Structures are given as C-alpha cells and as structure tokens.
Amino acid sequence: MVDYYEALGVSRSASAEEIKKAYRKRARDLHPDRNPSTEAADEFKRVGQAYEVLSDPEKRRNYDATGDEKGRGFPAGAQGFGGFSDIFETFFGGGAGQGGPASRTRRGQDSLIRARIDLKDAVFGITKEIDVETAVTCSVCDGSCTREGTSPTTCPDCHGQGQVQRPMRSILGTVIQAQTCARCSGFGNIIEDPCQECDGQGRVRERKTLKVKIPGGVEKGNRIHLAGEGEAGLAGGPAGDLFIEIDVKPHDVFTRRGNDLHATVSIPMSAAALGTTVTLDTFDGVEELSVAPGTQSGEVLSVRERGVAYLRGAGRGALKVHLKVETPVKLSERQRELMHEFASDRGEAIGESTTEHRGVFAKLRDRWDSL
C-alpha cells in the first residue's frame, strides 16, 4: 500500500500548508511536460492521490487511524465497533464532532477529446498540436479562491468544525446530533472576499495547446493517456487526466487491414499477358513493381516493410498490391480482327468457355495465397 506521507515527502505531523507546498513541488517535478518517463507518470498519479487524501481533514483522519481514507480498516488493537461513539454514529447518522470540516480542495475531472489524423500519420506516427478548452488553476489567486491579501475566515456558527451540534430526544434520552453547518456548507470557513478572476472557485476556463506524441501503429478508437492534463481541481486541487481518442481519415488509395496496407492497381490485358512494370506512389515514395507475364486478375504483389508500424515492437507490416486485369470494352475493326487471329492461333474457339472444377480446399489455398 502506498504511504501517502512518504509519497509527498512530509512527516505525519505536517500542517495543511506544508502538505500543499510539498504537493506542488512534487507535481511540478513529475509533470509529463518536464519528466515524460513512464515511472514519473505513475509517481505523478500517486502524488495526486496522496494529496487528495491528506488535504481533506476527514480523509486524513481516517487514513491516519486505519490506513484507508474511507475508514474501512481498523487501527492496531481495534476489532469490530470502536465503542459507543461508533454505535451512536450507526444509529444517529453522525458522531458528536467526529466528522471535522470538509476540504474545498477537489481533484479535477478526467477529460476526453478526439483527434483526427491522416492514414500516413497512423503509419509513421506524428507529434501533433491539439487545442484543449479546459479548467486551469487560477493564476491570480493560485487556487486559494480568495482575493490577494485576504484569506478565509472561521465560520462563526460552527467555529471551524464544519458541523453544528443540536440536542435531540431519543429512546436513550437527550442525545447530541452533529449536522453539517449550513452557513459554511461544512468547510469550517467562509470566503468573504473571493477572487474576482475565478469567482472563488480557484480555477478558470482556458484554451491551451498541447503537443501530443501519437505513435505509429495507432488505430481508430485507440486512446492516448496524458496524466495530469485534465481539468484542474477546485481550490487548487490536483488536475484530472486527459484521454485523446484517435480517429483516422479514409485514404483515396490505401486501406488498412491490421498492419498491412492494401491498394488495387489496374493493368491492361496485354500488359498482364506480356508482363510489365507498374509504379505506385506510396507513403515511402515511388515503388516499382514487376508484373510477371501471364499474370491473372486478382493476383497480389507484396512488398515487405511498407505497411503500418507495429504499435508494440519493431518493424512494419507489408504493402499488398492487388492486380486487376482490364478487359477491353470497345474494339475497333482492326483490333477485332487481331483478336480473332490471336484466338485462332491459340486454337481457341470464339464463344466457347472452359469451366474449371476445383475443390473447396484448392479455393481456400488460393484465397490464403492472395492475402
């Protein structure tokens, strides 16, 4: 289990201000813009989680007592109910003065945006600038929510406890029930002079530009995770995460199947019979492909390392070029005569056809060879 105090580098007796300063320093050092390593990203999330717990007095109290911010564990030597106060809380919805003030600090929400890229960018990868409209920490009050030179004042109703106690008659006699203070909403303090820039929220809406590295091999629907680039939290709380979902534009020539690129090239019947060389503009430049004499329609030429980069691992897929043999539609008289002479020379009778009876396994083998 993560030690939240150790994650922030503070002692267990650290004040709320010391915890806040430690978090900001650690977050700056581990931010993806400054430290893009995977280890730093994981540590950045742990630091954010630690701050979210230790900056909230109630969660911190539970964590110190049980090792769990939700109070689901038990401190050393405790078993089951902790005594009368726990029974009281179970039946009456709150112990006398146990809850403590709530923290204004909240972690920001995660965000999801979509980025549309060209197929070529999916093949090789690209560093792309993406505009994001999100919540950022207010630069005027630095997340404190108050106007410069001022600070929150202690609530006069609950005296900073976040709760008020009221007597209530029950089967046990008169008991004291703790309720959330209506005046300060349980925070224990009141912001009488809020920051004019953020209206006392500690954050503002802003459009910012991020440079996002999109790796080669991404497909439609893949998501890129950027830790700490989501919405800033309330009152200086840690930012959420940003997820970028990839969409790939269709291409006029190439289609993708797995890590292979596929294209169809048409060649004249005479070129298929005699053999030829075809040229194709690819993402790597012009490729010259040799077509053997007697090539049939549907045959596939394969070029290694001209497909899409593997997202995990080295190398690329192949380029698969499907050949389509074009049969002339309109012939001149001279061309018709030549075709008749050609057929006669080969002993082919015009109007006759040959049907090839082939087994299902032979057809499957040909299908496999064409891939």
Residue list, annotated binding site for Zn(2+):
138, 141, 155, 158, 181, 184, 195, 198
Tokens of 146: 């108050």
DSSP string, 232-252: PPGGGPPP--EEEEEEE---S
- Which residues neighbour 129 within 8 Å (Cβ) at sequence distance 6 or greater? 209, 210, 211, 212
Nearest by Cα to 262 from 295, 307, 299, 217? 307
Nearest by Cα to 295 from 320, 319, 318, 268? 268
Q: Which residue has the tokens 């979902």?
A: 245
DSSP string, 155-203: -TTTTTSSEEEEEEEETTEEEEEEEE-TTTTTSSEE-SSB-TTTTTSSE
Element (H, E) at 125: strand 125-137
Q: Is 268 helix (H, G, I), strand (E, B) or coil?
A: strand
Give the annotated binding-site residues. Answer: 138, 141, 155, 158, 181, 184, 195, 198
In angstroms, the Cα distances linking 93 to 83, 107, 168, 369 are 15, 26, 12, 72
How far is 3 from 13, CA to CA, in rounded Å? 14
Q: Is 231 helix (H, G, I), strand (E, B) or coil?
A: coil
How far is 61 from 127, CA to CA, in rounded Å? 45
